[in-house]
Amino acid sequence: MTAMVDADERAARTYPRSLPLADGRTVTLRRMNSVDADRVLAFARSLPPDDLLFLRTDITDAAVVAQWVANLESGRTLTVLAETGGAVIGYSSVHKNEVSWQRHLGEMRIQVAPSARAQGLGRVLAAEMFAIARDEGLGKIVVQMTEEQRAARALVERLGFRVEALLQDFVIDRDGRTHDVVLMSYDVSGLTQHVD
């Protein structure tokens, strides 16, 4: 796979914008804003429990989504929504780090509805975040996931992310079981280079 960001691709990132999925459906990408809170909640509440298990925040909680919106408005978080038929079917976000010595980092989070998986939407949403991170001057994007999240790890590895650390027993699930977390990163300055 090639990850390249040039002037033409940046110019193409206007919103809203429609793109075809592999199954023939059209998806519209646009920046999330405050009026999207209820639609994002509906999307989150439609996800299977396993998809919500290891999210950093409980996006099925209206207060959490309200904080998300506040972070959008302050510029701490940048989110692109994917919609079809007026419904949210996925999103990608970059969360900027406010710690001064990590201000060059952004944490990427992606979620895609089960009905839209294996259609290329995850790759499209990741590409949006790569380009936005670069435009925002971020130097590195990080992702965190449990070792059990093999499909997510395979996706980000194909995008060029590399393992930085394995954090043993780092998260605990609702049943009290601990899980190891894999921390992976991607050097945004490498976006102009080819990634295999």
> Could you tell me if residue 12 is inside a domain?
yes
pLDDT of residue 5: 38
- What digits encode the pLDDT tens for the residues 37-89? 999 999 999 998 877 777 878 899 999 999 999 999 988 999 999 999 889 99
In the chain, the number of structural domains is 1
Q: How crowded is the C-beta side of 79, counted as CA atoms within 13 Å?
A: 25
pLDDT of residue 23: 86
> Could you tell me if residue 16 is inside a domain?
yes
Domain CATH for 71:
3.40.630.30
**104: helix, strand or coil:** coil
Residue span of the structural domain in which 38 resides: 7-139
